[in-house]
Amino acid sequence: MQPTDEIPRTYEEAEHLLARWQDEGRPTDLLVFAFTDPADETVRLLYVSEEFPESDVLQAMTYGRSLEIPFRTSTAMATSQEWEQVKAGQLALPKGWELAHMRQISP
Asked whether residue 65 carries a pLDDT value surpassing 70, the answer given is: yes
Tell me what the pLDDT averaged over the chain comes to. Answer: 88
Q: Is residue 4 part of a domain?
A: no
In this predicted structure, what is the pLDDT of residue 6? 78
Closest C-alpha among 56, 51, 60 to residue 86: 56
- Residue 29 falls inside a structural domain: yes
100 DSSP assignment = G
Whether 1 has a pLDDT exceeding 50, the answer reads no
Q: Is 60 within the bounds of a domain?
A: yes
Q: Is residue 1 part of a domain?
A: no
Please indicate, yes or no, if residue 3 is contained in any of the structural domains. no
Say whether pLDDT at 13 is over 60. yes
Q: Which of 1-5, 14-18, 24-28, 72-76 has the highest mean pLDDT?
A: 72-76
CATH, residue 40: 3.30.460
Would you call 57 helix, strand, or coil by DSSP?
coil
pTM (2 d.p.): 0.83
On whether residue 2 sits in a domain, the answer given is no
In a domain, 42, yes or no: yes
Q: Is the dihedral of CA 49, 35, 63, 71 positive or negative?
A: positive
Determine the structural domain holding residue 90 and report its residue range: 11-106
Total structural domains in the chain? 1
Distance CA 2, CA 79 (A): 26
